[in-house]
Amino acid sequence: MNIGQASKTTGVSERMIRHYERVGLMPPPDRRDNGYRDYSPQSIERLRFIANARGLGFSLEEITTLLGLWDNRERTSSEVKAVALAHADDLGRKAAALEAMRRALLELAEGCSGDSRPDCPILDGIAVS
């Protein structure tokens, strides 16, 4: 399967497929006589794994770890779970941080008349806080 087809069936851009290869997430695929990359069903499966992991917010570095575990029959599920829970924790902290910003901002905005006058507690709040 050519890279264009691989991209279409996995939703991963050609750019990123090549990138994953460069950084070692994807093994170098077979090449046709003309030099074109040729992807096996296994490669497509791996690509999908990466795409799904990205969709869960894992970094490429974390995905390297996950793929290592995926490939390793000697893995323990506790290793996998530890990675997953650590990432879930990370997501939780980041979401909470964004929510805190949002609440602070809405609190400032609450006092703002939002009309044609220049007085604005939002600007005041940012200036002094």
Partner DNA sequence: CTTGACCCTGACATGATGTCAAGGTTGATG
Partner DNA sequence: CATCAACCTTGACATCATGTCAGGGTCAAG
- Residues that bind DNA in the complex, under the rule CB under 7 A: 2-5, 7, 13-16, 18-19, 32-37, 54, 59-61
Cα atoms found within 13 Å of the Cα of residue 13, Cβ hemisphere only: 4
> What H or E segment, with its residue span, contains residue 38?
strand 37-38
Stretch that binds a copy of itself, among 8-16, 17-25, 35-43, 107-115 (CB under 8 A): 107-115
With a CB cutoff of 8 Å and minimum separation 6, the contacts of 47 are: 6, 10, 12, 17, 20, 26, 39
36 binds, among a copy of itself, DNA, none (CB under 5 to 8 A by kind): DNA
What is the footprint of a copy of itself within residues 11-30 (CB under 8 A)?
none
**Residue number with CB closer to DNA (14 or 79):** 14
- Nearest Cα neighbor of 37 from 16, 11, 18, 10 is 18
DSSP 85: H
**Alpha carbon distance 64, 75 (integer Å):** 14
With a CB cutoff of 8 Å and minimum separation 6, the contacts of 79 are: 69
Q: How far is the CB of 78 from DNA (least distance, A)?
A: 24
**Residue number with CB closer to a copy of itself (34 or 78):** 78
**Alpha carbon distance 2, 7 (integer Å):** 9
Q: How far is the CB of 14 from DNA (least distance, A)?
A: 6
Note the residues at the interface with a copy of itself (CB under 8 A).
45, 48-49, 52-53, 55-57, 66, 69-70, 73-78, 80-82, 84-85, 87-88, 91-92, 94-96, 98-99, 101-102, 104-106, 108-109, 112-120, 122-123, 126-127, 129
